[in-house]
């Protein structure tokens, strides 16, 4: 590979209802409808696959605080599912970049707060050494990256639930895009684990990776 860009795939991983929502009518913490789907074996395996190549977790404030209050204890819980313990250990050790303009203290180890546009943060992270980047359950961050064309992959647990109201994942942003289905797996709960890869025009992909178009290369 030439140029400054490194091949760091950016994945957004999130549960989604059939009516396109990430929260229920009760507000930002109304996510009980996701629990039985997230707890099934196939969804746990999907999470380990998504995070297996990642060395950076990009999180919104709410997700960071929620994860920080739950997952550290799971890592040392011998009674927990081994897949949950593996994810908890990964999450504890991985670089955690928290997107927030209000959070001032990131007490969880390997964490830092960045007050900025998620798209600009990702553009900077792409220039740094490391493995892939995963955005975990942070709908605002994922939405902004979709709008900016900075998300390479969508990992969705499509839950067979119509929640009726709540925050939608997909906004009315100006950027349209096309995606290819890379994986689809049904779960024992009736959900679908889906993975979509962004279809980028070849010229745009070359530019992102620091490759000059053929007609601009020296003879």
Confidence of residue 104 (pLDDT cuts 50, 70, 90): confident
Q: What is the pLDDT of residue 174?
A: 56
Query: Does the pLDDT value for residue 17 go beyond 50?
Result: yes
Angle at 82 between CA 183 and CA 77, to 5 degrees: 140
Instruction: Categorize the per-residue pLDDT at 130 as very low, low, confident or very high, splitting at 50, 70 and 90.
Output: very high
**Weakest mean pLDDT among 90-94, 115-119, 165-169:** 165-169
Under 8 Å between Cβ of 37 and 15: yes
Mean pLDDT of 50-59: 97
For 164-178, the pLDDT digits (tens) are: 998 999 877 656 889
* Residues contacting 56, CB < 8 A, separation 6+: 8, 94, 95, 96, 97, 125, 130, 131, 132, 133, 134
Averaged pLDDT, 94-119: 94
Determine the pLDDT at residue 204.
53
- Compute the Cα dihedral for 191, 64, 131, 213 and give only its sign: positive
> Rounded to whole angstroms, how far apart are CA atoms 77 and 50?
23
pLDDT band at 213 (very low <50, low <70, confident <90, very high): very low
> Is residue 54 helix, strand or coil?
strand
Helix, strand, coil shares, percent, the chain, to 5: 35, 25, 40
Quick check: 185 and 45 in contact, CB under 8 A?
A: no
Name the pLDDT band for 144 (thresholds 50, 70, 90): very high
Domains and CATH numbers, the chain: 10-51+115-216 (3.40.430.10)
From residue 94, alpha-carbon distances to 1, 27, 126, 135, 200 in Å are 25, 29, 16, 12, 28
Q: Answer yes or no: is pLDDT of 112 > 70.
A: yes
CA distance 11 to 67: 18
């Amino acid at each position: 590979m030439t140029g400054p860009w490194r091949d760091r795939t950016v994945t957004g991983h999130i549960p989604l209802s059939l009516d396109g929502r990430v929260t229920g009518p009760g507000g930002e913490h109304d996510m009980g409808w996701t629990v039985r789907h997230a707890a099934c074996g196939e969804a746990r395996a999907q999470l380990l696959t998504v995070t297996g190549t990642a060395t950076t977790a990009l999180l919104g404030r709410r997700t960071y605080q929620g994860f920080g209050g739950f997952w550290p204890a799971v890592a040392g819980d011998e009674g927990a599912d081994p897949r949950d313990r593996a994810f908890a250990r990964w999450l504890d050790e991985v670089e955690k970049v928290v997107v927030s303009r209000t959070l001032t203290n990131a007490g969880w180890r390997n964490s830092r707060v960045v007050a900025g546009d998620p798209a600009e943060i990702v553009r900077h992270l792409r220039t740094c050494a490391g493995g892939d980047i995963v955005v975990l359950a942070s709908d605002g961050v994922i939405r902004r990256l979709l709008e900016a064309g900075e998300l390479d992959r969508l990992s969705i647990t499509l839950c067979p639930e119509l929640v009726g109201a709540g925050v939608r994942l997909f906004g009315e942003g100006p950027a349209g895009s096309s995606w290819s289905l890379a994986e689809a797996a049904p779960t024992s709960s009736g959900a679908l684990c889906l993975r979509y890869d962004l279809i980028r025009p070849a010229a745009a992909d070359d530019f992102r990776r620091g490759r000059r178009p053929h007609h601009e290369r020296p003879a």
